[in-house]
Structure 1
Amino acid sequence: MNNKKISRYEILKYLWEDGWRFLDNGQFTYLLLGNDDWDWNSASMSEQEIFDFLKIKSNSDEVIGFVMTWSDTNIGGDVLFFPNFEFLFSININIKEIYNKIVDINWYLIKLLPVFDKNGVLYNSIVYNEYR
């Protein structure tokens, strides 16, 4: 077992490498650096600019907030990635549904969990809530 401590930045790189994109209709939507008001911003950025920004946020021990979508599907939601490694994914963009408008949570899990597992990212629990 690998006991190497993995940074939040590395986890974000793993997600990108496996097909997740930090884009919303081609824009990087994110929480600004030093933002205590939870104001979101959108900008057109290159992949390098996005990761430069995410590295700064990760190193500053701030909450990293961004929109994350799967590949070119534009299906995803808002992510808050806390310094304590809590990863909150609010599914709210082109929600994948099954019968009677129930969220197809398995669709999301089969795209997220293998990224964590194959890179040695440990998780204690997965909690899913759906409110109507």
Structure 2
Amino acid sequence: MLATIHRAENTDSREHLLAIFNSFAELGDIVFLPLHPRTKHKLEEYGLTEIVQKADHIKIVEPVSYLEMLLLEKHAKTIVTDFGGVQKEAYFAKVPCLTLRTEMEWVETVEVGCNRLVNLLEEDWAEVIQQF
């Protein structure tokens, strides 16, 4: 699974980041996460880095270039994101995508069934991804 998390609505909320990283920790699949500096800072600020450190299947790397990200997307089994551009790229790469937001720009990706909008505080998205 490829993941990208950086939007303020997720990173500026300890509750959202906790829900995201607890779900990553619960998953059995490898989570490859190019970590945005904003997200890294907030994990440290909220004292959530231990969750990541305990889950050896969460592979955190430095941010990647645009072309590297496209390659990662192309070869991912699933993508979890809160970023609009990645949603559309997942569609073009034909990779299922979960969008961790309450609204999105690319509603057509949901309409064709390759993307699913997940409200973090109302749904267990780790369970949703198993069914997706």
Q: Same fold (TM over 0.5)?
A: no
Instruction: Answer 1 or 2: higher relative contact order, Cα 8 Å, separation at least 6.
Output: 2
TM-score, normalization by structure 1: 0.30
The structure with the largest helix share of the pair is 2
Larger strand share, 1 or 2: 1
